[in-house]
């Protein structure tokens, strides 16, 4: 082996060693990085868990339809009249606990709501009662021009939240076809 090829070999080994160490450092940093959100999407209620939801009411302000469900201590869902619900009731609660959104837009005045499909009431209302006695309300307006998100107002926040369409479409389907046994 010539001196030149030995120098080349040593240089390549040094480069390999540096890359190996750099890779280990980056891998260790990623493994130790805190994870703030276990889901690949932002959630409207990031701290809400499904078992915390004890009551849900879905309503269509335009048609006047509504559907309510309550959870007993054993985790079973019923209508307020005592009719046992199918497993879809659990999926409704899970959808609300994990409700994904795209982003929020500032809301200057309430007059702006007509621009977001609230003419005047919107398409869907969601009311949730939590185990601690608190509640959340969601008013869903129109579909955005992209057809990917619905405009919504959450609780009393002064912003419009863009909720992902599949979740809202699912909730509207469940309102029209309640999960009764």
Measured in whole angstroms, how far is the alpha carbon of residue 159 from the centre of its chain?
A: 17
Q: What is the pTM of this model?
A: 0.76
Write down the mean pLDDT value for the chain: 85
Cα angle at 101 between 158 and 115, to 5 degrees?
50
Which pLDDT belongs to residue 97? 96
Whether omega for the bond prior to residue 113 falls within 30 degrees of 0, making it cis, is no
**pLDDT per residue as tens digits for the range 113-148:** 888 998 888 999 999 999 999 999 999 999 999 999
Which pLDDT belongs to residue 144? 94
**pLDDT per residue as tens digits for the range 58-108:** 999 999 999 999 999 999 999 999 999 999 999 999 999 999 999 999 887
Task: Please tell me whether residues 67 and 96 are part of one structural domain.
Answer: yes
Task: Please tell me whether residues 23 and 107 are part of one structural domain.
Answer: no
Residues 64, 97, 177, 143, Cα dihedral to 10°: 60
Any domain includes 95: yes
Task: Please tell me whether residues 100 and 149 are part of one structural domain.
Answer: yes
Task: Please tell me whether residues 166 and 120 are part of one structural domain.
Answer: yes
The residue among 28, 49, 61, 91 whose CA lies nearest residue 153 is 61
**5-19, 129-143, 152-166: least confidently modelled range:** 5-19
Which pLDDT belongs to residue 36? 52
86 close to 73: Cβ distance less than 8 angstroms? no
Task: Please tell me whether residues 27 and 57 are part of one structural domain.
Answer: no
- How many domains does the chain contain in total? 2
Which pLDDT belongs to residue 27? 55
Any domain includes 42: no
Which pLDDT belongs to residue 22? 47
Which pLDDT belongs to residue 30? 52
Domain that holds residue 15: 1-33
Any domain includes 38: no
């Amino acid at each position: 082996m010539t001196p030149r090829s030995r120098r080349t070999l040593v240089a390549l080994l040094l480069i390999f060693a540096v890359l190996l160490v750099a890779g280990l450092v980056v891998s260790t940093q990623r493994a130790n990085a805190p994870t703030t959100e276990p889901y690949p999407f932002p959630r409207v209620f990031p701290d809400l868990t499904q078992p915390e939801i004890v009551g849900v009411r879905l309503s269509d302000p335009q048609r006047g339809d509504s559907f309510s469900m309550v959870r007993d201590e054993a985790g079973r869902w019923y209508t307020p009249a005592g009719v046992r619900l199918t497993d879809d009731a659990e999926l409704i609660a899970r959808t609300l606990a994990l409700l994904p959104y795209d982003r929020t837009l500032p809301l200057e005045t309430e007059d702006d709501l007509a621009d977001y499909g609230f003419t005047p009431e919107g398409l869907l209302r969601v009311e949730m009662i939590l185990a601690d006695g608190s509640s959340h309300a969601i008013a869903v307006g129109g579909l955005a021009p992209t057809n990917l998100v619905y405009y919504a107002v959450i609780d009393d926040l002064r912003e419009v939240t863009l909720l992902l369409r599949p979740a809202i479409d699912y909730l509207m389907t469940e309102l029209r076809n309640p999960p009764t046994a």
